[in-house]
Structure 1
Amino acid sequence: MRVLFTTNPGIGHLNPMLPLAHALQQSGHEIAFASAESFAPSIQAHGFQCFAAGLDWLQSQLEQAFPETQHMSLEELSAWFIGDLFADIAAQHMAPDLIALCRSWQPDVLVRNDFEFGGYIAAECLGLPHATVSISFFLPIATLEPLIGDQIAFLRSAHGLAPYPALDRLYHYLYLASGPLRCQSQTLPVMHAIQTEALVSASDATLPSWLTQLPAQPTVYASMGTVFNRTGDIFPTILAALHDEPVNLILTIGRNQDPEQFGPQPAHIHIEQFIPQSLLFPYCDLFITHTSFHTMMSAFKYGLPLLMLPISADEPVCALRGLDLGIGQIIKRPGQFNQFFDRSVPELSVEAVRSAVHELLQNDTYRRNARQLRDEIQALKDLSHAVDLLVSLAAEKTPRIAGR
């Protein structure tokens, strides 16, 4: 079986797809990706062929490709990402390239993620069965319609498809959800819960020597990912909040930043550019995160409570799901995401971070809820089930209804 994966050029979009791609490859299937040309090395580093498709841009260098984003607030950027970039600009360039690629490479099934829409258009044009791998908590059609309905309708019409209903077939065949279905605000007949695996490349699979010699006190880990990790007020606020607290604090700030910029720190604070999270999480008692979906799901597997500081994109939605699951608390940046959070959600400050860390470490309810979720994840079917679903989808070309 030939499987074509399609993704926007961002690490947070790619990483949740890689475990399934590896599982398919290890089962003897032929795998290729399609993404922006400049993103190909990131995909090839994991051992996969990558076809250049669509506009050449990188999410990590967003302002270079789209200068208009320089003057957007993070809140404006959130709406722009899905409505203007993913469903419009990126999809318009991606769809025709994918149609041509599918005609030449002849995949048996196309696998996209929640925010790559060119693959949906291409597959529908060619009558090719398509599946979605979750890289976010599921966004119901009723939520997506006002955000991207007109854009997708235009694309459908441009490629000879009936414009409306624009989104009814977006998840027609198969949706592979990471984690238990109770994590989702809504489910689908074709939604299957899968336990995925963490990826650590051999070159990254090391830990700093000091990690095994930490004092016997709670360990708090903070990371803001790879896209918005330079949001200026977050790391300094965390450092100030926990400067004199009896905890071990670990910050990973990204390879695009220098730990020295934060100045001298007390012995209980460690700042690194990168540590593999799958190796670091077992040492941690609390995770401070920007609440990207993939990062949250990785933390769930280790039963960690979360202090959630959403920055942009779908992160406020993810944070609300974490709150509903009872595994953490939210702090918002001043004046941001007021349409998502009520006044009970505190704004970012030294005192707010310190108070939340105290509560999350001392109130065992959060840890019990997180560990229950961890146990549910461990009980899920593994990636071999997802491989079987894709094989049957390619053969039968009909929706894979859960429970049948």
Structure 2
Amino acid sequence: MRILFSSTPAHGHLLPQLPLARAFRERGDEVAVLTAAGYESLLVAEQIPLLPVGPEMPALLEEAVRRTGADDPTVPDPAVAAELFAGARVDLTADAALAAAREFGPDLIVAEATDYVGPLVAAALEVPYAKLAFGPLLPAEFTDVFDAVAERRFKERGLTPPVPSWYLDPCPELLQSPGWQPPRGHLPLRPEAHQGSRTPESVPTTPRATGGAKPKVLLSFGTVFAEPAVLRPVIDALAPEADLVVTLGLTATAADYGDGLDHVEFVGFTPLAELLRGIDLVVTHGGAGTTLGTISRGLPMVVVPQGADQFVQAAAVAGARAGVAVPPSAGPEDVVRAVTEVLGSTEYRDNAVRAAEQIAGMPSPREIADLLAAELGGARDK
């Protein structure tokens, strides 16, 4: 079989797809990823071919802001987000994506939840597609606008937006919104902390940090939001209370955070599975991959959302009492208070462990790959 994954060009959208892509590859299926060219080195390490199409995220965001006239693109705005994911990206990517996909000849397209290029290709090529979520269901106030913008782009090409045959859901029940109902074609899919090209069996489980005078805290605001100006006050406030490991994102260096930080461990882009070893608690912006990867190890969190869907993750973690959400407008002392609260109560860790147990009971990527392949094979035999 030939499986084509399609992703918005952003680490937080692509990385959660890789466990399932690996599972198909390990079955012997032919796998490729459709996204911007900047992810070639990451996919080469995964031994997964890239079909490079469309602009990178900064160019897409610039175009979405230009089209909508937004003053501050960091403020969550359904109109800007819809133009980014379903307007500008489709306009600037669809033709190249269709050409590349026709040459690849997929039997199935797997598209992450905010990717509309994959569904457009699926509609044009008349092949089934699976939608892969990367966290709790996004609010309708966003997705309804996304879908309306995408529908216009589809109609311009004589296409109807396809209904996904499967909704692949990595979110454990404990983190789902109250009253949540499974969408059509719902299949739970066990999420994994990003591990690079290593297999799950080669990444040890995360033990509780022991032996140090202070708790060990990972401060990670992902690949995009790790701004030194934002993180330095938090580092200064937390350092007296915890041994800190701080991720640098994709472009920053330790020097960008200023002087007097010899007591802080800075790390460049590193698989989350490695970063979580020996950690007591994670302070994060609430990216979906970081949130589910951390929860899968039974670790509590303090979530300080900065934008995008991070407010959804923050609300889910706080609602499950697996951590505390701190508004981005709060000061570093509020982050310290939240860290102290989470570390001082077993409730948060107990709930994180409950969520991890739910995740462990979900079907693995290989099980889902086998199931989808069997259903596709059956459909072709009819």
Q: TM-score range by the shorter chain?
A: 0.7 to 0.9
What is the match of residue 385 of structure 1? Answer: 367
Q: Judging changes above 3 Å, is the alpha-carbon distance between structure 1 residues 372 and 50 closer, same or farther for their aligned structure 2 residues?
A: same
Partner residue, 1:374: 356
**1:189-224 deviation per Cα after TM superposition (whole angstroms, max 9, x unaligned):** 311112133443369x99xxxxx9972431111011
Distance, in Å, in 2 between the alignment partners of 1:159 and 1:4 is 21
**Structure 2 unmatched runs, 5+:** 204-208
Q: 1:290 aligns with which of 263, 285, 290?
A: 285
Identity of aligned residues (%): 26
2:307 pairs with 1:312: yes
Match of 1:14 in 2: 14
Deviation at 1:385, TM superposition (A): 1.7
- Is 1:332–2:314 an aligned residue pair? no
Q: Match of 2:166?
A: 174
Aligned residues of 1:110 and 1:130 also touching (Cα < 8 A): yes
Q: Residues 289-309 of structure 1, C-alpha deviation per residue, up to 9 Å, x if partnerless? A: 000001101101111111001
Query: Helix, strand or coil for the counterpart of 1:76?
Result: coil
Q: Which piece of structure 1 moves more, 8-17 or 267-276?
A: 267-276
SS of the counterpart of 2:75? Answer: helix
Distance 1:390 1:267 in 2: 50
Distance 1:332 1:85, change over 3 A: same
SS of the residue 2:135 aligns to: coil
Corresponding residue number in structure 2 for 1:359: 341
Is residue 38–residue 58 contact of structure 1 (8 Å, CA) maintained in 2? no
How far the C-alpha of 1:188 sits from its partner, in A, is 1.3
Distance in 1 of aligned mates of 2:157 and 2:368: 30
Q: Determine if contact 2:196/2:271 at 8 Å carries over to the other structure.
A: no
Residue pair 1:290, 1:309 contacting (<8 A) in 2 also: yes
SS in 2 for 1:135: coil
Q: Would the alpha carbon gap of residues 326 and 381 (structure 1) be closer, same or farther in structure 2, given more than 3 Å must change?
A: same
What letter corresponds to residue 305 of structure 2 in structure 1?
A: P
Distance 1:330 1:387, change over 3 A: same
> Secondary structure of 2:277's match?
helix
Residue 240 in structure 1 maps to residue 236 in structure 2: yes
How far apart, in 1, do the equivalents of 2:359 and 2:247 lie? Answer: 26
Deviates more, 1:92-101 or 1:130-139: 92-101
Structure 2: distance between partners of 1:380 and 1:192:
9
| DSSP-derived class of the 2:229 partner | coil
Shift of 1:3: 0.6
Q: 1:391 & 1:46 partners in 2: Cα distance?
A: 21
Greater CA drift, 298-307 or 73-82: 73-82
1:243 is displaced (CA, Å) by: 3.4
Residue equivalent to 2:152: 154
Cα distance 1:394–1:98, how it changes in 2: closer, same or farther (>3 A)?
farther
Structure 1 residues 70 and 305, CA gap change in structure 2 (3 angstroms): farther
Cα RMSD between the aligned structures? 3.0
| Aligned residue number for residue 188 of structure 1 | 183
The answer as to whether partners of 1:286 and 1:305 remain within 8 angstroms in 2 is yes
Residue 217 of structure 2 aligns to a residue in which SS? strand
2:100 maps to: 101
Change (3 A) 1:193 1:266: same
- The one-letter amino acid of 2:214's match is Q
Q: Deviations over 1:85-108 (max 9, x none)?
A: 111011223333333333332211
Provide closer, same or farther for how the CA distance between residues 253 and 41 of structure 1 changes in structure 2, counting only shifts above 3 A: closer
C-alpha displacement of 1:381: 1.7
Distance (whole Å) between structure 1 residues aligned to residue 128 and residue 71 of structure 2: 37
Residue 31 of structure 1 is matched in structure 2 by: 31
Equivalent-residue separation in structure 2 for 1:97 and 1:256 (angstroms)? 28
Deviations 1:296-327 (A, max 9, x none): 01101111111001011111111111111111
Which residue identity does 1:39 align to in structure 2?
Y
**Contact kept in structure 1, 2:45 and 2:197, CA below 8 Å:** no
> Does the 8 Å contact 2:193/2:294 carry over to 1?
no
**Which is worse superposed, 309-318 or 142-151?**
142-151
Contact 1:13–1:113 at 8 Å: present in 2 too? yes
Worse overlay, 82-91 or 265-274? 265-274
CA distance in 1, matches of 2:77, 2:221: 16
- Change beyond 3 A, Cα 1:8–1:63: closer
Amino acid at match of 1:217: K
- Cα distance change, pair 173–7 in 1 and its aligned pair in 2 (3 A): same
In structure 1, list runs of 5 or more residues that go unmatched: 207-211, 335-346, 399-404
Q: How does 1:80-91 map to 2 (within 5 A)?
A: 82-91=81-90
Query: Given the alignment of the two structures, is residue 395 of structure 1 paired with residue 377 of structure 2, yes or no?
Result: yes
- Show the counterpart of 1:110: 109
- 1 CA distance for matches of 2:94 and 2:43? 20
Residue 280 (structure 1) aligns with? 275
Q: Is the 8 A contact 2:297 2:356 kept in 1?
A: yes
Structure 2: distance between partners of 1:309 and 1:122: 36
Residues 181 and 193 in structure 1, CA contact (< 8 A), matched pair in contact too = no
The residue type equivalent to 1:136 in the other structure is: G
Quote the offset at 1:138 in angstroms. 1.9
Letter in 1 for 2:5: F
Take 1:214 and 1:257, find their aligned partners in 2: how far apart are those partners?
31
| SS of residue in 2 equivalent to 1:282 | coil
Deviation per residue, 1:349-401 (Å, 9 max, x gap):
13211211111110111111011111111122211221123213422459xxx
